[in-house]
Amino acid sequence: MKRVAIIAGDGIGVDVTREAKKVLDLVVRARGLGIEQVDMDYGAERFLRDGVTLPPRELDAIRKDFDAVLLGALGHPRVPDMRHARDILFGLRFGLDLYINLRPVQCLDDRLVPLRDRTARDVDFVVFRENTEGLYADVGGIFKKGTPDEIAVNEDVNTRKGVERILRAAFEHARATGRKKVTMSDKANALRFAHDLWQRAFREVAADFPGILAQHLYSDALTMQMVKDPGQFEVIVTCNMFGDIVTDLGAMLQGGLGMAASGNIHPGRVSMFEPVHGSAPKYAGKDVANPLAAILTTGMMLGYLGFRAEESLIETAVREAVRRKKCTKDVGGNLGCRATAEFVCATLTPLLGGAAKSSAKRSKRR
């Protein structure tokens, strides 16, 4: 039995997770998968009500008793300093040592490609973003805050171990999926120390994968090339902040943030899956958010848990929703969040084969 914790979070995170859960429930029932879902009530509402973000004992329980976490999104105007979001999101990413942020940049339909003379086939690569250190390591401080002499420092933390393991993960993924090229992107020309380490580690790790072409691009050149000729990329590996930025650009190449899925992974351990988008507060509760990124993310989670066939069927159903414009406005349809997920479920049901079985465990709340 696999155990999945579900944290819907804030804003449209709640809307899209509710719909993604319907897809998950359907797949679990129809295929009789041994997956138990546990809803966890963490997010801005809980923080404002009880002052609770993510208690250390819960993080421990997730580490010990769960196989995956499905997260919606975090961020609420009533918590402007984002304290709860930092505790929950970074608590999970750092606390569970989820060093791989795997972000597929795959466009599912020609109609969604924003570039002239390009098709969906030109947008099909994955980004491996380092996820536990770099400029997001929260090392630094403010000196003489609020005075004219103020100094603010964020340290860029790059460890040999941290850099090497994300590079190795990118090459291993390329080898496992038959991809032939890994592009490492840094800013070694300006960041002479931190990214010199990336350069040296990249050369060393690449030597262990002789069948895979190791390419280097500075991050400014990478963004330019992603727009000019995205078809040249297969696997991109980069640091935490550049990965954050280039995957938003990647999301636009695949049809927008409503289409971009991601996994926060430590191979062999409990890992966390979330759409790339945030909580988009202005759309919260209005039945307009695109649930497809969250649904694709649920597919990724199933794949990680070993249910690869089901992941692929979910992708097929999502592709069909986009192709037939049975989707939300941001991707050219005129359905709401709920109706889009209903279409995905209706398309998925015959693909899953046969009537739903009733043996699956029901959701528990805690």
Ligand X SMILES: NC(=O)c1ccc[n+]([C@@H]2O[C@H](COP(=O)([O-])OP(=O)(O)OC[C@H]3O[C@@H](n4cnc5c(N)ncnc54)[C@H](O)[C@@H]3O)[C@@H](O)[C@H]2O)c1
Indicate which residues carry an active-site annotation. Answer: 136, 187, 220, 244, 248
User: Using the rule CB under 6 A, which residue among 5, 8, 12, 107 binds ligand X?
Assistant: 12
Does 330 help bind ligand X (rule: CB under 6 A)? yes
Helix (H) / strand (E) containing 176: helix 160-177
Interaction between residue 75 and ligand X (CB under 6 A): yes
Show the tokens assigned to 158.
């790059």
91 binds ligand X (CB under 6 A): no
What tokens were used for 131? 């996820």
Q: Does 89 bind ligand X (CB under 6 A)?
A: yes
Among 4, 206, 280, 300, binds ligand X (CB under 6 A): 280
260 binds ligand X (CB under 6 A): no
Considering the complex, what minimum distance in angstroms separates the CB of residue 196 from ligand X?
30
CA distance 322 to 358: 30
Q: Output the smallest distance, CB 136 to ligand X, in A.
A: 12
For residue 212, give the H/E element and its range.
Answer: none
One residue of 27, 73, 261, 321 binding ligand X per CB under 6 A: 73
What lies within 8 Å, CB to CB, of 185 at 6+ separation is 216, 217, 218, 219, 222, 236, 237, 238, 242, 246
- Closest contact distance (angstroms) between CB of 297 and ligand X is 11
Determine contact, residues 343/333, Cβ cutoff 8 Å. Answer: no
Burial of 68 (0-12, 13-18, 19+ CB in 10 A): buried
Q: Is residue 74 a contact point for ligand X (CB under 6 A)?
A: yes
The string of DSSP letters for 109-159 reads -GGG--STT--GGG-EEEEEEE-SSBTTS--EEEESTTSTT-EEEE--B--
* Nearest distance from C-beta of residue 85 to ligand X, angstroms: 6
**Interatomic CA distance for residues 51 and 268, integer angstroms:** 33
Q: How many CB atoms lie within 10 A of CB 148?
A: 5
DSSP per position, 32-50: T--EEEEE---SHHHHHHH
Two tokens, residue 259: 């289409």
Output the smallest distance, CB 146 to ligand X, in A. Answer: 23
Q: Which is nearer to ligand X, 87 or 186 (CB)?
A: 87
Residue of 134, 230, 258, 299 interacting with ligand X (CB under 6 A): 258
Residue whose tokens read 């890992």: 271
Token pair 């999502």 in the structure block, residue:
318
Smaller CB separation from ligand X, 24 or 89: 89
Q: Report the alpha-carbon distance of residue 288 to residue 292 in Å, rounded.
A: 12
Q: CA angle 168-203-199, nearest 5°?
A: 95
Let me know: does 321 contact 351? Beta carbons within 8 Å: no
Binding piece for ligand X, criterion CB under 6 A, among 26-34, 273-281, 302-310, 313-321: 273-281
Find the binder of ligand X among 43, 91, 278, 336 (CB under 6 A).
278
Binds ligand X by CB under 6 A, chosen from 101, 185, 247, 290: 290
Of 289, 321, 327, 341, the residue at the interface with ligand X (CB under 6 A) is 289
Which pair of tokens denotes residue 230?
Answer: 């995205």
Binding window for ligand X (CB under 6 A); candidates: 278-286, 300-308, 317-325, 358-366: 278-286
Check: CB of residue 128 under 8 Å from CB of residue 170: yes
CB of 256 to ligand X, least distance (A): 6
14-43 positions binding ligand X, by CB under 6 A: 16
Question: With respect to ligand X, which residue has the nearer C-beta, 92 or 174?
Answer: 92
Q: Shortest approach of ligand X to residue 208 CB, angstroms?
A: 32
Nearer to ligand X, 10 or 234 (CB): 10
Q: Which residues bind ligand X (CB under 6 A)?
A: 12, 16, 73-75, 82, 89, 257-258, 274, 277-280, 289-290, 293, 330
